[in-house]
Chains A and B, each alone.
Chain A
Amino acid sequence: MHGSTAASGTGTEGTASRGHRWLRLHRVAPLLLLALGVAAVFGSRRLGLGELTAPGPGLWPFIVSLLLTGTAAVLVLLDPAEDYEPWTRGTVRIIAGLVSLGVFILLFQTFGFVVAAFLMLLLWLRVFGGESWRMTLVLAVGGTAVMYLLFVEALGVPFPDGLVDAVIGG
């Protein structure tokens, strides 16, 4: 569920930044919530409401999604617009940052923690942090080492096997 919300969220946001600067996400957020609420109402009915004397698995979700639908419906009509922050050029950085986090997870799964952590620190420090190359390299190498020692050696977290483990182990 969170996945779909996230995906649609980033989608709307893309169109907004392509449009005018003054275009705010007005009304889109409550509409998304409304859609979520309505979907949940039907979903919980499918689960089986049962009776009040013998509540089924869907009864409580049903009540909650009614509350969500109700509040979202009112918000569609009278949402104060001043709550919304405008989309800025910084938004592009965020999307790039999000993509990089997704890539981090994939790298983490396939190549292990050390490679993924080093590359992520490299990217974030250099591109998003604007550090010098020297500072970036020092921090990325040092940071990866410290994190590895902390999580793997000190806390004993079983990270997925990666390149480094293969090298050390082999």
Chain B
Amino acid sequence: MDSWNGILQGFSVALDPTNLLYVFLGVLIGTVIGVLPGLGPTATIALLLPITYTVEPVTAVILLAGIYYGSMYGGTITSVLLRLPGEAASVVTTFDGYQMAKQGRAGPALGIAAVGSFIGGTVSVVGMVLLAPPLADLAVSFGPPEYVALTVLGILLVTYLGTGSVLKSLSMAAVGLLLATIGLDPITGTARFTFGEVSLFNGLDFVAVAMGLFGVGEILHSLERTEKVQAVTSKIKGIWPTRKDFRDSAGAIGRGSVLGFAIGVLPGGGGVVSSLASYAMEKRRAKDPSRFGKGAIEGVAGPETANNASSTSAFIPLLTLGIPPNVVLALIFGALLVQDITPGPQLIEQQPEIFWGVIASMVIGNLMLLALNIPLVGVFVQMLRVRAGILAAFALLVTMAGVFSVNNNVFDMWVVLGFGVIGWLMKKTGFEPGPLVLAFVLGSILERAFRQSMLISGGSFDIFVTRPISGGMFAFMALIIIVSAITSRRRKAVFGRVDPADVDETDEPGPDADRQVTAEGSPGADSTTDTPSSTTPGER
């Protein structure tokens, strides 16, 4: 009953004309950047962070959420038509989607992806309504040790589920935690690592760090490549899938919804992992797995459903526990923090309009996406004509002006530039920015919780293992570490089964298309939690 009232309240918030406009803007921007290979959702959300401070908190989250799941739709379009994943979660879609396009079935591929995404998103919203309130109730009883366990779990899972080297991700998480300590010590007021710079007393600005690493870093990285994208010339017809298409993909959509929802809730989950998992699952279940990679519609329907379902359910840990499960959510978390709202178990009670408003906006946003995508695919594809150089120039200018506007401080512009350099070097050297940013956001929560735990326990570490919930979580972490150490080779095999074979099979279009993918596929690639930096995600 309570949830019912909440949903009603949510719709009254989401149907407010301003919020309606921002949902629309969000999903539109999301779709556009999903289409453009140079910019991923992470970079775009980072770039738009300053703008969100001028609006109400709930409107800000509605906008950013719209961008996130909107990009999941948009990324599909270029994956299918050009074999260019606009963002990383759509890499899997290139396997069968592009093959379908080559067989003249681009329309149904896009249609089933849109329908699947809509169903996945809706299932996730329902799951969220059912799961979030009890989870928040449970979390109200959490003390500092549980928060230590929870944040450590989040950071650990992001480093483990990422596609790069676990050790490298872990070292980046350590850098993020270290950067989070810059500024005045919250308890004693001692200046830490500020080097006498007054602008650092409040710590590094999260927005500046995120914009530098994701925005500037990504633009610089894409600047090194000079290849041009070819525009699609052929017309797309018959978007609406046939009855047989629906029958073939119904199971995949159903499984993708549930799988995506479950993976999204887990810390470290998100679009990339869920779409890979769904593809692997469909291929394993298929009576004739050899159809995969040759235009099997389930191979498009499942992953597309799953990535949209996970991008919705990823809001559950953020809004109920105050723990962002992946980098995009970490950015949204940062946006809320700057608005003086700390997401956590109390959010549903104290700011129900945010929680329910965001949920209701997702229903509306998914409907808008379905309505936008099916008739307007052709228009979105034309976006690819915008040249990368123009995009880069304007994105950089918006970044610089935007970061200044947060604190009206030129120092932040230098921080952006510095982190832009670091972000670009990290891309060159195979370090992922995701764990760094997530750890940077969680760092102050973790430190505070850790120090409070130490005060409560009188300096004993027992407190983390004797309390049932935190003990359970640490046991779970130990299990992850042990299992992954034992099966690290198998893990590679599971992911490997998905990609290399399929990529090889689809590799025939010639050197030209091949170059495009390697060149353009990666800039948008580190969108969610992890960075597959070439055509074979998760292979390393």
B414 touches A155 (CB 8 A): no
Q: Which residues of A contact B465 (CB under 8 A)?
A: none
Alpha-carbon distance between A121 and B174 when the two chains are bound, in angstroms: 37
Contact with B along A104-125 (1 / 0, CB 8 A): 1100110001000100110011
Interface residues of A (CB under 8 A from B): 1-3, 5-6, 9-10, 13, 25, 29-30, 33, 36-37, 40, 43-44, 47-48, 51-61, 64-65, 67-68, 71-72, 74-75, 79-80, 82-85, 87-88, 90-91, 93-94, 97-98, 101-102, 104-105, 108-109, 113, 117, 120-121, 124-125, 128-131, 139, 143, 147, 151, 155, 157-160
Within the complex, what minimum Cβ distance (angstroms) separates A169 from chain B?
Answer: 19
Q: Which residues of A contact B187 (CB under 8 A)?
A: 57
Within the complex, what minimum Cβ distance (angstroms) separates A114 from chain B?
Answer: 11
Select which of A1, A44, A102 is within 8 A of B417 by beta carbon.
A102
Select which of A2, A58, A124, A158 is within 8 A of B422 by beta carbon.
A2
A13 touches B387 (CB 8 A): no
A65 touches B178 (CB 8 A): yes
Within the complex, what minimum Cβ distance (angstroms) separates A41 from chain B?
Answer: 10
Alpha-carbon distance between A37 and B171 when the two chains are bound, in angstroms: 10
Within the complex, what minimum Cβ distance (angstroms) separates B181 from chain A?
Answer: 5
Alpha-carbon distance between A6 and B209 when the two chains are bound, in angstroms: 13
Q: Which residues of B contact A83 (CB under 8 A)?
A: 164-165, 168, 429-430, 540
With contacts defined as CB atoms under 8 Å apart, how many contacts are there between chain A and chain B in the complex? 201
A129 touches B393 (CB 8 A): yes
Residue B394, interface by CB 8 Å = yes
A55 touches B220 (CB 8 A): no
Question: How big is the B interface, by class?
Answer: 35 or more
Known A-B contacts A64-B174, A159-B404; A52 and B454 likewise in contact (beta carbons under 8 Å): yes
A120 touches B404 (CB 8 A): no
Q: Which residues of A contact B179 (CB under 8 A)?
A: 1-2
B224 touches A94 (CB 8 A): yes
Q: Which residues of B contact A98 (CB under 8 A)?
A: 220, 417, 420-421
Alpha-carbon distance between A9 and B175 when the two chains are bound, in angstroms: 15
Report, nearest first, the 10 A-B pairs whose CB atoms are least far apart: A129-B389, A83-B430, A90-B224, A52-B459, A53-B459, A124-B393, A68-B174, A71-B171, A57-B185, A57-B190
A3 touches B192 (CB 8 A): no
